[in-house]
Structure 1
Amino acid sequence: MPKPTKGPRLGGGPAHERLMLANLAAALFTHKSIKTTETKAKRLQPVAERFVTFAKKGDLHARRRVLASIGDKTVVHELFTVIAPQVAEREGGYTRITKLGFRKGDNAPMVQIELVLEPVVAKPKSAKKAAAAAAAEAPVEAPAEAVAPAEETVEVVEAEATEVEATEAPAEEKAAE
């Protein structure tokens, strides 16, 4: 007996569930945001994120794997050429689920699932991390200060050499006379 998939069932058999999730993913990639029930959105999220990960790879094998699930070539083309470059910097979390309330007819919890297409913003460093970074940079500055006195000694040596030359020059002039 085949082991059933984990998570809530969406009605019908496993083939119907696969087709329903593929259609929801196609609608999500076409419209960038769809309104559906919470159960369907939670089942759709890992499927859609996997398709976006394939699109980020961008090779022919990945395109054929997505095309095997989503039969519409225009949706797959848009996923690979429009959506994938927009989420290239993002390392995961390509979708966002926002709760909307309950449906009027049957009181089903409704949500909006959308693609997260905003650019990734680096988080500001905390005070502890900033202090650790400053401490890590401090030893780097110490050798730079050690080099500075060595340069001063070179200047002093050069100055003494010019003084010696200046005192030797009159002595040679006197010897020539």
Structure 2
Amino acid sequence: MPKPTKGPRLGGGPAHERLLLANQAAALFTHKRITTTETKAKRLRPVAERLITFAKRGDLHSRRRVLSSIGDKTVVHELFTEIAPLVAEREGGYTRITKIGNRKGDNAPMAVIELVLEPVTPKVKKSSTKTAAKPVEEAPAETTEAPAEETAQTEAPAEAEAPAETEASAEDESK
């Protein structure tokens, strides 16, 4: 049995809170980021991440479960066809909450909740970091040498052109 939330609910009763969070999740999937209060953003995060997890499965049962909470078929279609493939490699943490200060009118703390759609970079295991650390240490040494060689090469043609010009001017003067 799910554990009930403690404290006051958003919007009054539990049914209104479910509708409010479903509407905010639909807006999040449509616009990829929304600005809301910190409390609503924190309550929306697990709802949105659960719906994205269903979308990653991609089967009919998952689609119907998402449709039961979000009634808009276009939003569900966008979630399953556009958002789910972008987060397929990610194992969680599909949303990011960024605090943006207080609202001007009532001084409520505001936040931006957005989808994390960047490709995930795989973490390197500790055992492989020792072997991977050696080539990483060599790579900066090569990069520091490369600009020095380029500067030497760029200076050398300038020096080579100078004697050629003096020889050409000497031939012109002798004629």
TM-score, normalising length: structure 2: 0.69
Does the Cα contact within 8 Å between 1:97 and 1:112 map onto a contact in 2? yes
Deviations along 1:12-32, one digit per CA (max 9) or x if unpaired, are: 100000000000000000000
TM-score, normalising length: structure 1: 0.69
Deviations along 1:126-174, one digit per CA (max 9) or x if unpaired, are: 698415999xxxxxxxxxxxxxxxxxxxxxxxxxxxxxxxxxxxxxxxx
Give the structure 1 partner of residue 49 of structure 2.
49
Give the structure 1 partner of residue 154 of structure 2.
none
Deviations along 1:73-128, one digit per CA (max 9) or x if unpaired, are: 00000000000000000000000000000000000000000000000012356698
Give the structure 2 partner of residue 13 of structure 1.
13
Residue ranges of structure 2 left out of the alignment (5+ in a row): 135-175
Distance in 2, matches of 1:62 and 1:69, equals 11
Report the Cα offset of residue 5 of structure 1: 2.2
Give the structure 2 partner of residue 114 of structure 1.
114
1:58 counterpart letter in structure 2: G
Report the Cα offset of residue 8 of structure 1: 5.1
Secondary structure of the corresponding residue to residue 47 of structure 2: helix
Does the Cα contact within 8 Å between 1:8 and 1:39 map onto a contact in 2? no
Does the Cα contact within 8 Å between 1:22 and 1:69 map onto a contact in 2? yes
Which aligned pairs between 1:21-32 and structure 2 lie closer than 5 A? 21-32=21-32
Does the Cα contact within 8 Å between 2:11 and 2:20 map onto a contact in 1? no
Secondary structure of the corresponding residue to residue 96 of structure 1: strand
2:92 counterpart letter in structure 1: G
Residue ranges of structure 1 left out of the alignment (5+ in a row): 135-177
Deviates more, 1:84-93 or 1:122-131: 122-131
CA RMSD, 1 decimal: 2.3
Distance in 2, matches of 1:91 and 1:12, equals 33
> Residue 132 and residue 7 in structure 1: after superposition, are their counterparts in 2 closer, same or farther (change >3 A)?
farther
2:116 counterpart letter in structure 1: V
Distance in 2, matches of 1:126 and 1:113, equals 32
Q: Does 1:92 align with 2:84?
A: no
